[in-house]
Structures are given as structure tokens and as C-alpha cells.
Amino acid sequence: MWNTALVVGLLLTASNGTSTPAMPSGSATIPLQELIPLYAKHQEPAPPAPPTDALVVKSQLKGRLTAEALLVEAHFEVEVLASGRWTQVRLLQLDADSYLTHVPTLEGATVGSLDGQLTLVTREPGRYAVDVTLALRPSGSGTERQVQLRFGAHVSPVPLRLEADATAFTLMEPLPTGGEDTEVYPRQGVLRVGWRNAAAPKVARQVVRPPLEPSIPEARASWVSTLEGKATVRVRYSLRVDREQELDLELPEGHRLERVLLDAIPLVPSEKEGRLRLKVAPTRFGETEATLEVVLARDLGVFHLSGRLKLALPRVSWPVATLQARAHFPAVFNYRREGGSMEQYEGTETAGLETQTPLPGKVLQFRQYLVAASAPTLELGYSVDISQSYFR
């Protein structure tokens, strides 16, 4: 102990002999119980403060136009450097027409609206990823719309990648580049987007076509009879109709119905006292033509050496523009027209009801125009044909 005091005294004496104190050198031995209080009073120098509390190291903005607003998806990566105190990082300014639709939940930090700005608040250093969604609505209600987005004090302005459907919107600001995506660059730290909703395409007013007046442009008929007088009457009507309509037929006296076909499809008509009521329509949608075929049977009676035949066709409720008829009667007789509404003519026109096998007998042709509300009739006289007989 005496040695330690002597060494300290010598050092103090040496220091008083000079004007500038010199740094002592050498070593000293002191008890441990005196060293510990001295060491406790020693403090490590505090680390220097960071040059800034936080940095926004990455910013990305994506936008999509709708009819009423601009939807923005913003992504920020924030590096907080300060510790032990609260740090605020202002990212975006929120105007009166800006609405936050999604904010993230972060561990150790909070993101929300503070003093009219989108702000990250924390007291823990670290790196934070912030993804928010907001809607910017235009203030006006006219055809032209405009919105703007301002950056916060801690964010450097970056462009906005805008997605706009060219068929639904017309960009006014910035000018469209011709693609689906457009880069909107900030001007003076503000992003501005102006657009006009495309005019709704004019829907052509559906023109309701008036109902087509049902009619029969053409009818073709044929009589085929055996020598015993068993006759078959076949009538084919070309119908002009665009929707389901009723058609009435009145059968001639003495005739019985065999079958009715509409475009080769059998029909079951309602029959009462020789009157048929049919519902006819084109079998294919959009068409205006159909074919109705009516087959009748009649007993004309046995042919004699001479006599008269009274023939008739059904009366239809629709007007018939042209009627052509053909008769196939036994060839052993000569026939002459003696009356009726149909006139006889000579020609090569066919009746359109031929079969694959030619019909026997003499062929007579008749026609009538503008048949309306009446039954076409024909009266024929016949007598034995002796032109080929050797008795003449």
C-alpha cells in the first residue's frame, strides 16, 4: 500500500513541475474493491445518430379505370433506421375524393390516414412492405372525368402504370399510346388522369315486322281415275306464311279425306261436317314458305259409253293466285269441257305432282287465276273414242 502511494506521489510531483501536464506512463496496482467503482463510472461512447429516420426504398403504382373511379394499387418498401423513438413516414396525400379500400396489418408498425396523408408509424427499426388500395373519384359528374394523386413528403414521385379498356374509355390525359397499358408520369409531383366514358353503342331498335298476310301463290292439283270410277284427288298448296296461322278447307261433296301433309309431315286436322281446320306454320324458323298437301278419294261411278263428270277441288280460306290442275282419265273416252270455273289449255307445263311411274290415261290440263273464297269446279262431257276403230 505504501509503494502505491509513493508511485502516485512521484507522478503528481512530476506533473507540477511542467506547464503542460504529460500523460502518465507506467503501471499502478490498486485493490479490486477500489477498481470496481471506478470501472462502473466509465461509459461507452453513444453510436452516432443515423442521417435520417427512414427511407422509402421502393415505390410502385398500378391503376385501373372504371366508369366511376380510378382504382390504384400502391406498393411501398420502407426502411426505418431510427430506434427508440416514434417515426412517421408520409406516403401519399389523401384528398377529399380519395378513399382507402385496403390497408395492410404490419407487425411492429401501423399504416393509416394521419392528418390527411397515408402514413406509416413505428418505433421499431426494420424493413416494412406496405400494400394499399384506394379509389380516386372525380368531383364532377359530366362526361369528362379527371382525378389527381399527390405523393407524400417522404416518397419520390414515380409513374403510374394505367390499365384502360379502349373500347370503354377515351383517355384525355395523358394521351393514349395505343396499347392496353399506359405510363402516366407525374408533373410537378402530381399524377393526373383524365378520361371520358365511351358513348354506349346505339342499340338498333328492333323493327317488328308486321304479320305477313297469309296467301297461296300457287296450287297444283291432279285427278287420277280408273275405268271403274275410283278417283284420287291430290292438291298441293304453296303457302306463304311467317308464323302459325289457321287455314280452313271445305271438302267437296262426296269426297273423303285420306291424309294431310305439311312439308311432308303428317297433320291431324280437326274435321267437322267436311270442314277441316289446320294450324300451319313454316317448319324452319325464319322462313316464310311451306307446302301443304291434301289427298282425297272419291267414287265417280262406272264410266258408261258417254256421260258427264262434275269435278271440284276444296275451298280454302286463303286466296289462291294461280291454280293448275291435271286430269288422268281412261284413254278410251274423248273429253270436252262443258262448264266450271277452270279453263282448259294446251301446254307442256307439269302439275308438279308427278310420280316416278308415269300415270296412264289421257292427260287434260286446266287452270284458274285469283281463286278467293270459292271452290274451283269443272264439268266434263265424255264419250267413247272410236277414232281408232275400224268400223268408222
Spell out a b/e string for 140-151, using b for 16 or more CB atoms within 10 Å of the CB, else e.
eeeeebbbbbbb
Secondary structure of residue 205 in the 3-state scheme = coil
pLDDT higher than 70, residue 352:
no
Cα distance between residue 9 and residue 301, in whole Å: 170
Confidence category of residue 226, pLDDT binned at 50, 70, 90 = confident
**Between 348 and 345, whose confidence is greater?**
345
Give the residue-averaged pLDDT of 124-152: 88
Cα distance between residue 56 and residue 28, in whole Å: 54
- What CATH number is given for 54-197 in this structure? 2.60.40
Q: What is the pLDDT of residues 26-58, one digit of tens each?
A: 777 878 787 778 777 766 666 788 889 999 999
Query: Which segment of 6-10, 205-209, 355-359, 360-364 scores lowest on mean pLDDT?
Result: 6-10
- Within a 10 A sphere around the Cβ of 243, how many other Cβ atoms? 11
Q: What is the pLDDT of residues 260-305, one digit of tens each?
A: 999 888 888 888 888 888 888 888 877 889 999 999 999 988 888 8
**Between 218 and 1, whose confidence is greater?**
218
Instruction: Give the model's pLDDT for residue 331.
Output: 86
Provide the residue ranges of all domains of the chain, joining segments of one domain with +: 54-197, 215-384
Which residue type sits at 38?
L
The answer to whether residues 280 and 245 touch, using CB atoms and an 8 Å cutoff, is yes
pLDDT higher than 50, residue 329:
yes
Instruction: Give the model's pLDDT for residue 107.
Output: 92
The pLDDT > 70 percentage for the chain reads 83
Q: What is the pLDDT of residues 180-211, one digit of tens each?
A: 678 899 998 899 988 887 766 566 676 676 77
Alpha helices in the chain (DSSP H): 2-16, 32-40
**Between 81 and 385, whose confidence is greater?**
81
Cell of 344: 282448259
Cell of 110: 401501423
Give the residue-averaged pLDDT of 75-99: 92
pLDDT higher than 60, residue 147:
yes
Note whether 54-197 and 215-384 share their fold.
yes
- Within a 10 A sphere around the Cβ of 249, how many other Cβ atoms? 25
pTM of the model: 0.48
The pLDDT > 90 percentage for the chain reads 43
Instruction: Give the model's pLDDT for residue 100.
Output: 93
Beta strands in 81-202 (DSSP E): 87-93, 98-102, 109-114, 117-122, 126-136, 144-151, 160-163, 169-173, 181-184, 190-197
pLDDT higher than 50, residue 13:
no
Query: Which segment of 95-99, 281-285, 377-381 scores lowest on mean pLDDT?
Result: 281-285
Q: What is the pLDDT of residues 68-79, one digit of tens each?
A: 889 999 999 999
DSSP H or E segment with residue 272: strand 270-272
The answer to whether residues 57 and 77 touch, using CB atoms and an 8 Å cutoff, is yes
DSSP H or E segment with residue 297: strand 289-299
Instruction: Give the model's pLDDT for residue 283.
Output: 82
Cell of 153: 413528403
Query: How far, in Å, are 120, 154, 270 from residue 369 at the CA level?
Result: 95, 96, 29
Q: What is the pLDDT of residues 106-120, one digit of tens each?
A: 999 999 999 999 999
Pick the CATH number of 215-384 from 1.10.150.20, 3.40.50.150, 2.60.40.1730, 3.40.50.300: 2.60.40.1730
